[in-house]
Amino acid sequence: MTQLDHSLNTRFSSLDILRGIAILGMVFSGVVPRGSLPSWMYHAQVGPPDHIFNPNLPGLTWVDLVFPFFLFCMGVAFPLSLRKMIEQGVSNKKIALRILQRGLALGIFAILLQHMRPHHIENPPGASTWLSALLGLLILFGVYARYGNPFFQSREKWIRSVSWILLLLWLPFFNLISENSFSLGRSDIILIVLTNMAVIGGLIWLFTRDYPMIRLGILVLFLAFRLAHGESSWMQTLWNYSPVPWLFRWDYLKYLFIVIPGTFAGEILIGRAQQKINGLRSVAASLLSLLTGALLLTSLIGYQSRWLLGTTLILAGLVAAGVVFATRISNKSIAALLYWGSFWLILGIVFEPFEGGIKKDPSTLSYYFLTAGLAHYLLASLTTWGEQLNGYRLLRLVRDNGRNPMLAYVLMANLIWPLSALLGFENQIQKLAGYTGMLLTIAIFKTFLLALLGQWITRHGWQWKT
């Protein structure tokens, strides 16, 4: 392994951990029981007690952070992954084709997964539905998995060919077992958004990698388009037009406000790849971690409680402290992450009163910029600890799931949940309705079990690639 490769692997454990926090947080938020838990345990717009979506309700909870953090990690990964292909002499045309191919694979995955989830096959699911969900997982695994075992590696092409045939046969099979018919318009919205970001974000970085100001200019142009399209008939027509509405909408591109900032963070890391990073001294690393924690808690508590003036003043003070901290440290990459994070945070703070206050759904400009800024600080904070990150078992568990995020995304609904139901556990869990604390404990246990399984699969060299 070269010195450059070693520094990359060491440093980017922080990115894997941040991605792992995001994906496990997404999974856990999907199994948190509805009931008498505090409002900050749910999306701000679907809080207790009725959990009815209210688009006019501003606020920010930890549940609202996990998806933008994942998007940010996707943006960070573009320079890291595509730069390797560029250095190997691969042409822009071939790289762009590869981006489109991966985007198509992810889009197909988004549609098929939605038709393989138990409650989308039959609601409530019966035994045959749970078994069908397990079968769907095996088929998807055969299509998208990369194997670490030599036995499977030698038979990978054969396994993939058979799995694709079974995948095509799933379409008529779904129409037989489900009360709904197969539809391209029925898809996992999170994966569809990721598809758009993987393609559009990847192409933007590829062709502007040497022109960062053009990349920022594209962001500003889209901001103008987003704000002004309702004021012009031709812009409104263009905004509503899509040649493939089941796959692409202009509105999905709003998440570029998170992904493109992530590309700058990725360039900061890779641009310093030859600079050995051992992290900061423990005192400095601890101070940055405390500062990051204070930013997170202030944003969550302040904006959810709508204590706006105090929250603004405290956040402004914390951002100023972050800038001062960045000027005092010798590690230029961490300092650059803090400068960019402070910039996006300030934008988020200033935009908070706009569009009725910060909201995830419908998402506001303050939401994009604030979460992008917080993600910068988190990445910087994790990076400061260097190789120490790999010394903690819990962080290794999160890291390994961050290295295989799509696997973690599918295991709950298509493995743990079906097995729990077939073994009779779900019937017993349903009898605990009203015991929110017990149900929350079970949700934590399920997420932990998923994380352990994801880690075991990842460490055996099995990767889910879309």
Instruction: Please report, for residues 27, 133, 306, the alpha-carbon distance to residue 220 in angstroms, rounded to integers and kept in the order given.
Output: 33, 43, 29
- What does the longest C-alpha to C-alpha distance in the chain come to? 65
Percent of the chain scored above 70 by pLDDT?
95
Q: Residue 180: its pLDDT value, please?
A: 85
pLDDT at 390: 81
The span from the CA of 167 to the CA of 158, in Å, is 14
* Spatial distance between the Cα atoms of 380 and 80, rounded to a whole number of angstroms: 16
Give pLDDT tens digits for 394-417.
Answer: 999 999 999 999 999 999 999 999
- Residue 47 is predicted with a pLDDT of 84
Q: Flag whether pLDDT at 268 surpasses 80.
A: yes
The residue count of the chain comes to 466
Position 388 scores a pLDDT of 80
342-356: per-residue pLDDT in tens?
A: 999 999 999 999 999
Window from 88-97, 211-220, 399-408, 427-436 with minimum mean pLDDT: 427-436
Amino acid in the structure at residue 268: I
Q: Which of 3-7, 28-32, 329-333 has the weakest average pLDDT?
A: 3-7
pLDDT above 80 (res 322): yes
464 has a pLDDT exceeding 90 = no
Lowest mean pLDDT among 11-15, 18-22, 286-290: 11-15
The answer to whether the beta carbons of residues 79 and 209 sit under 8 Å apart is yes
In the block, residue with structure tokens 């556990």: 425
Residue 1 has a pLDDT of 37
Residue 6 has pLDDT above 80, yes or no: no
Encode pLDDT of 33-54 as tens digits: 987 789 999 999 998 888 899 9
CA distance 316 to 300: 15
Structure-token pair, residue 169:
């046969």
**Mind listing the pLDDT tens digit for each residue in 141-175?**
999 888 877 888 888 889 999 999 998 899 889 98
Sequence-ordered list of residues with C-beta below 8 angstroms from that of 54, at least 6 positions apart, any chain:
45, 46
Rounded CA separation 241/224 (Å):
18
pLDDT-based confidence at 10, cuts 50/70/90? very low
| Cis peptide leading into residue 124 (ω within 30°) | yes
Q: How far is C-alpha 463 from the chain's CA centre?
A: 17
User: Average pLDDT, stretch 372-395?
Assistant: 90
Does 209 have pLDDT greater than 50? yes
pLDDT value of residue 386: 76
In this model, does residue 368 exceed pLDDT 90? yes
Residue 329: Cβ within 10 Å count: 18
Q: How far apart are CA 44 and CA 303, in angstroms?
A: 10
The answer to which of 105-114, 176-185, 384-393 has the lowest mean pLDDT is: 384-393
pLDDT of residue 5: 47
Q: Which two tokens stand for residue 343?
A: 């910039």
**HEC string of the chain?**
CCHHHHHHHHHCHHHHHHHHHHHHHHHHHHHCCCCCCCHHHCCHHHCCCCCCCCCCCCCCCCHHHHHHHHHHHHHHHHHHHHHHHHHCCCCHHHHHHHHHHHHHHHHHHHHHHHCCCHHHHCCCCCHHHHHHHHHHHHHHHHHHEECCCHHHHCCHHHHHHHHHHHHHHHHHHHHHHCCCCCCCCCCCHHHHHHHHHHHHHHHHHHHHCCCHHHHHHHHHHHHHHHHHHHHCHHHHHHHHCCCCCCCCCHHHHHHHHHHHHHHHHHHHHHHCCCCCCCCCCHHHHHHHHHHHHHHHHHHHHHHHHCCHHHHHHHHHHHHHHHHHHHHHCCCHHHHHHHHHHHHHHHHHHHHCCHHHCCCECCECHHHHHHHHHHHHHHHHHHHHCHHHHHHCHHHHHHHHHHCCHHHHHHHHHHHHHHHHHHCCHHHHHHCCCCCHHHHHHHHHHHHHHHHHHHHHHHHCCCEECC
Cα 63 to Cα 27: distance, rounded to the nearest angstrom: 10
Confidence of residue 138 (pLDDT cuts 50, 70, 90): very high
Residue 8: the pLDDT is: 47
| Local confidence band at 359 (pLDDT 50, 70, 90 cut-offs) | very high
Task: Give pLDDT, residue 456.
Answer: 94
What pLDDT was estimated at residue 330?
84
The Cα 337–Cα 165 span in angstroms is: 46
Average pLDDT over residues 193-221: 96
Q: What is the mean pLDDT of the chain?
A: 91
pTM exceeding 0.75: yes
Q: What is the mean pLDDT of residues 388-394?
A: 84
